[in-house]
Amino acid sequence: MSDREEAIAQYNDAYGRGEELVFAAGPGDLGCAHIRNEQGAARVCLQGAHVLSFIPAGGQDLLWLSSASRYRPGVAIRGGIPVCWPWFGPHPEDPSLPAHGFARNRLWEPVESFVDRSGATVLRLALGSDAETLKLWPHDFRLELEVRVSERLLVEMRAYNTGERPFRYTGALHTYLRVGDVSDSMVTGLEGESYLDKLDDMRRQRQDGAVAVDREIDRIFLNTSRDCVLHDGASGRRIRVAKNGSRSTVVWNPWRDKAESMPDFDTDGWQRMVCIEAANAEDDQVEVGPGRDALLATTLSTESGG
Ligand code: BG6
């Protein structure tokens, strides 16, 4: 048995729950938790505590995942819900450091699983600072991420400061939502909010009406905790994105040219996705004192009607 197979067997012994929660090698041998109950099903890659898929019972996947994703140690997966932490976007001082931080590229450990009173299956994963993370970011920390699967999906991350000094971070649950046709979709819940336009030198603008996704879009909405709804006209579906501990919301679609320049975007994938990210970015940094923690959470659920 390889070390990897042994680890997967140990995870199944400690945290597996019959057919409801099974660990397997998964794509690229990165380790993957398969969760299935009467209300829904999800897959979570252990690299990055990265949710790859969430399907409510009788429904379609809420998440888009590129079939051209590379599943390799230390390489970010395209689609699903990447965990961006402890910085959002490029590192503010050193652009040679990995974009969106390192949490999405590290191997997380399962630490707990249970079924709650409502019948939702819960898996908790953790990541702690070590010699490698300290080289990238000089702070001691522990992250705990909970995935709670019912007819909705809750992803809830807590960042604990286990060091002696306060730290500041930015980050996001970078959710790639699946749509039937991006040109027939829009995002409500951000009307009147201020945003930084990443496509216009971070110019500060105000959102007028719903966000139409009819061209490349990359906006960081600041100081907003409101729910968003993604209206997917082609599929006749609405996805509600609720959040907690998040003061920024990012809306992103690379459109054709940028997607074609990204090798891990599958052909026409940009037409099938919209990112709505529960974030704390730019002005909305989070400070955590020693012994304290901070929350970042998002809940995805479907509503009928496009
Ligand atoms: C979004 C950013 O959150 O993530 C975009 O706003 C960025 O600017 C996109 O291009 C994808 O980032 P990455 O590192 O996963 O290619």
All residues at 6 or more sequence positions from 278 whose CB lies less than 8 Å from its CB, including other chains: 172, 173, 175, 241, 243, 244, 246, 249, 296, 297, 298
Q: Is 171:280 a contact under the CB 8 Å cutoff?
A: yes
249-270: average pLDDT: 97
Between CA 306 and CA 290 the distance in angstroms is: 46
Expressed in angstroms and rounded, the spacing between residue 219 Cα and the centre of ligand 1 is: 11
CA-CA-CA-CA torsion sign (100, 105, 109, 115): positive
How far, in Å, from the CA of 294 to the mean position of ligand 1? Answer: 23
What's the CA-to-centroid distance between 5 and ligand 1, angstroms? 33
Quick one: pLDDT at residue 201? Answer: 97
| Tens-place pLDDT, residues 109-120 | 999 999 999 999
Residue 71's pLDDT band (cuts 50, 70, 90) = very high
- 89 Cα: distance to centroid of ligand 1 (angstroms): 6
Phi-psi region of 145 (alpha: psi -120 to 50; beta: other; left: phi over 0): beta
Provide residues with CB under 6 Å of ligand 1. 76, 89, 99-100, 174, 198, 218, 250, 252, 277
Ligand 1 atom nearest 198 alpha carbon: 8
pLDDT of residue 269: 97
At residue 1, the pLDDT reads 78
More confident residue, 45 or 303: 45
Evaluate if residue 304 carries a pLDDT over 80: no
Please tell me what DSSP assigns to residue 269. G
Residue closest by Cα to atom 8 of ligand 1: 218
| CA–CA separation, 58 and 69 (whole Å) | 26
Closest CA to 285 of 129, 105, 84, 88: 88
pLDDT digits (tens, 9 = 90+) for 110-165: 999 999 999 999 999 999 999 999 999 999 999 999 999 999 999 999 999 999 99
- Decide: residue 13, CB within 10 A, 0-12 exposed, 13-18 middle, 19+ buried: exposed
Taking the CA of residue 172 as reference, the ligand 1 atom at the shortest distance is 3
186 three-state secondary structure: strand
Q: Determine which one of 174, 193, 231, 282 is catalytic.
A: 174
pLDDT at 226 over 80: yes
Q: 79 pLDDT band (50/70/90 cuts)?
A: very high
